[in-house]
Structure 1
Amino acid sequence: MDTEVDKQLDSMSDPEAEALPSKTGIGNARLASVLFETTFGQERAKKLPPPPARTSLQIALSD
């Protein structure tokens, strides 16, 4: 989705549009992080056995 939005923004000749590429990807990553924390931060999820390895999102956020 991010690349498609970036393509559309690149085709516009609007100064505001030129400042927006890659912002969609950043926004999607932030939303994914919030959804992940909301889902796996609930009591129900805390009762699950621990996964065998850290998720890629946890690794990315730990840097």
Structure 2
Amino acid sequence: MNKRNPVTPFGWKIKQRLVEIQMDQRTFCDTYRVPASRLSNLIHGTRKAKKYRKQVSTLLGIEE
């Protein structure tokens, strides 16, 4: 059985902001050249990905 990691509070902020600007994760990643795996890491907290964490929070205008 596949165990899924829960979404972190920062991940919920990312998801909420993407909904507000009406953009899906794939489009966001393609537009801003953020690897989809890193965005997923940020949403689920499986990796720190500090470089992309700062970039994503700046682009979306959310606090880390």
What TM-score results when the alignment is normalised by the length of structure 1? 0.31
Q: Which has the higher helix share?
A: 1
Name the structure, 1 or 2, with higher relative contact order (CA <8 Å, separation 6+).
Answer: 2
Structure index of larger Rg = 1
What TM-score results when the alignment is normalised by the length of structure 2? 0.31
